[in-house]
Chains A and B, each alone.
Chain A
Amino acid sequence: MTQSKILIKGARIVDPSQGINRIDNLFIKGKKIEKIGGSGGKDYEVIDAGGCIVTPGLIDVHTHLREPGGEDSETILSGSAAAVAGGFTTIMCMPNTNPPIDNAEVVKFVLDKASKAHCKVYPVAAITKKIEGKELTEMGEIIKSGAVGFSDDGKPVVSGEILRNALEYSQMFGVPIITHTEDPALAHDGVMHEGDISTELGLVGIPDISETAMLARDLIIAEYTGGRLHVCHLSAAYSPILIKNARMRGVQVTCEVTPHHLTLTDEIVKELDYDSNTKVNPPVRSAKDRIALQKALVNDIIDCIATDHAPHPPQEKDKEYNYAPFGMVGLETAVGLVFSELIHKKKLTLDAMVKAMSVNPARIFNLPGGTLKPGSLADVTIIDPNREWVVEARNFRSKSSNSPFLRRSLKGKTVMTIVEGSIKYSDT
């Protein structure tokens, strides 16, 4: 079999891992990046990418692929199709499946499905058996089977003792403990951000202290144990302050923010008249929170943009606000939102975006990718920053379409996704 040869011509190559941000040609040979710039290109498949941006393949460290157990909302295959359509070459999937990814057998099942997927899929395994918060999973065997981290995401680790043990035990394997920081008593039965809008709509609020109080505890335990902590989906303005403070004290902590927390506020629940597609945990909060999260991303306090892609089938979501489940899909809207709301509005640079969506995720979870260095695997995303498009449910490759962004016009779209030298998505 002949090796595929691709020449991506005339695009702006943005690769902060090498300090590159210039218009040049990118050569791919077989599964690897051959070179940037220079001559050649005879018998290469030429992709004219003038006006586009080429980045190391995007990496999403937080998705829910629902398989096993929730195949009516998503499968590893359909989720990976959504991923490549969104520009992601690598995704991590959370363990709150049914059964949960809490032992080596389920890790192997996921990796077996992943081997046939459109992009690279790495499982995150549960911190505790059955995600019950009581007993640690067999972390040694699980890591050996191919998981890249541990999380009880969807639920906090309520017991401080269990979190302490997890942060100590996981150090033997060099992977982070990923926490969903939420004090369930403070979150109460809330369904949206607690503030003026929740009062106006009569919906029970989730106060920001439900996140920050738990985050403060997690950071203190991480400091005490010397463990590695990665914090999911920050939503509150005070959270980056806590993270920054912990880092100054030497805590090994990284964190992420979602595109929806960067672009929406609680006003959306009113604007969309109780549409349960706006129901997400943690909830989108006030304008002050949104601005603080954007600034924390720019200031390198927040490391990653992660989607928290959480598909639900229509019969689950088409309910009264109180009874619909939390979560929104995000893989296919992330790039469009980041460009429309942040890049084009000059709130975020291209370099910062690529760091948050590729370089940092690869570094934090020790994944291949995050660079276009010659010799590295050719995971490449091509984005047309000026492509205008409308988010439509029928165009989603995800099996679900629970998005608050439906019918929204966006500017900026993934036009090609290349995974290890092979074109997995094209919309040129």
Chain B
Amino acid sequence: MSLKSKNLLGIEQLSKGEIFEILNAATSFRKILDRPIKKVPTLRGITVANLFFEDSTRTRTSFELAEKRLSAETVNFSASTSSLKKGESLRDTVENIEAMQVDIVVMRHSAPGAPNFLARRIKSAVINAGDGCHEHPTQALLDVYTMREYFPTFEGLRVVIVGDIKHSRVAGSDIRALKKLGASVAVCGPRTLLPIGIEKLGAEVYSDLNKAIKGANVLYLLRLQLERQHGGYIPSLREYTQLYGIDVDKLKLLSDDYIVMHPGPMNRGVEITQEVADHERAVILEQVTNGVAVRMAILYLSASLIRDLEK
């Protein structure tokens, strides 16, 4: 079995079976990461371009590590180190990539749909590393991978995502992935940061934190982007923390077997207290490690649709 498309533009395109296939492949790559020599020759001869039109440290590093551990050739473009500015010349960039005969393009872009724009125009495979407020599929896949390590099944699992849902591609992809896998998902945040129609993606919608997180197995906290305060969405960070900040007392409302997740980077003291961030049930650093394995799996499955790879 293989994936239907060499592109990964969003969770939207994946079936439940495809998600499990990625997770299973990630499991074998995850084992490699625990070896003393963490490198395999799987993607030898494959060239991957990392195009980051928007600043990113952890996603870019995670992809680069995944590529290097698979022995792929990698090149990096970033808005800060080249003349590329947001939106100015994606088309020209695209044509250059095409001319350089890159096999896989990993792209982070602030414009929703930019990976779709790219995928329509090039033969290379396109992997979305986050497009505006739309999707961040590899994050969602590493999130469900991490959940699977703690819970035997997604059926009946209750996941609550708390924070700025409106501007979160992570929420968008996580809701889609979890619904496909059979979990129940709720989102919770101030009314101004809940987008219209989010329930159509299958999420229950709350503004009351205590009601939302009651009995949850997974408490998923989103980073509150500090600039939202200036956008008039919330009156102050202080008030946000009072209403939606998670401290150890809130954890008591959760199910006994709970875990706490966060896609990073955290604002300690805003959406999460220091104590919760460092709590034994917080699996935030495991998400980071798993992220490399999941990205290795995606690169592998995508590349295997481009050419025959040595096993």
Contacts and interface: CB of A to CB of B under 8 A. Distances in A.
B263 interface: no
- Residue with the greatest number of chain B CB neighbours at <10 A, chosen from A199, A202, A205, A318: A202
Contact of A274 (B91, B110, B117, B201): B117
B196 A201 contact: no
Contact of A203 (B86, B109, B112, B117): B112
A229 B133 CA distance: 39
A202 B172 contact: yes
User: Closest 4 interchain pairs by CB?
Assistant: A202-B134, A274-B113, A196-B197, A320-B111
A203 B200 contact: no
B164 interface: no
Contacts of B198: 199
The secondary-structure label for the interface of chain A is loop
A409 to B, nearest CB: 22
14 contacts: A196-B196, A197-B197, A199-B195, A199-B196, A201-B112, A203-B112, A203-B134, A274-B116, A318-B91, A319-B117, A320-B90, A322-B112, A323-B86, A323-B111
B239 to A, nearest CB: 22
B114 A320 contact: yes
- Size category of the B interface is 20 to 34
Interface in A170-226: 194-205
B91 A199 contact: no
A196 B200 contact: yes
Contacts of A194: 196
Nearest to B165: A199
Interface of A: 194-205, 273-274, 318-323
Contact of B197 (A200, A273, A274, A318): A200
Interface in B83-127: 86-87, 90-91, 109-114, 116-117, 120
Given A194-B196, A195-B197, A320-B114, 15 more contacts: A199-B198, A199-B200, A199-B201, A200-B201, A201-B113, A201-B134, A202-B134, A203-B112, A204-B133, A274-B113, A320-B109, A321-B112, A321-B117, A322-B111, A323-B86
A200 B176 CA distance: 10
A209 to B, nearest CB: 12
Contacts, number: 69
A321 B113 CA distance: 7
A274 B134 CA distance: 12
B262 interface: no
Contacts of A318: 91
A336 to B, nearest CB: 26
A204 B197 CA distance: 13
Nearest to B135: A202
A273 B113 contact: yes
B6 interface: no
B132 interface: yes
B120 A321 contact: no
A304 to B, nearest CB: 31
Nearest to B117: A320
Nearest to B118: A320
Interface in B220-239: none
B91 A319 contact: yes
A111 B176 CA distance: 56
A322 B87 CA distance: 8
B87 A323 contact: yes
Interface string B171-214: 01000000000000000000000011110110000000000000
Nearest to B9: A273
Contact of A202 (B86, B117, B133, B197): B133
Contact of B87 (A197, A273, A274, A319): A319
A252 to B, nearest CB: 35
B111 A195 contact: no
Contacts of A204: 133
Given A195-B197, A201-B134, A202-B133, A273 B120 contact: yes
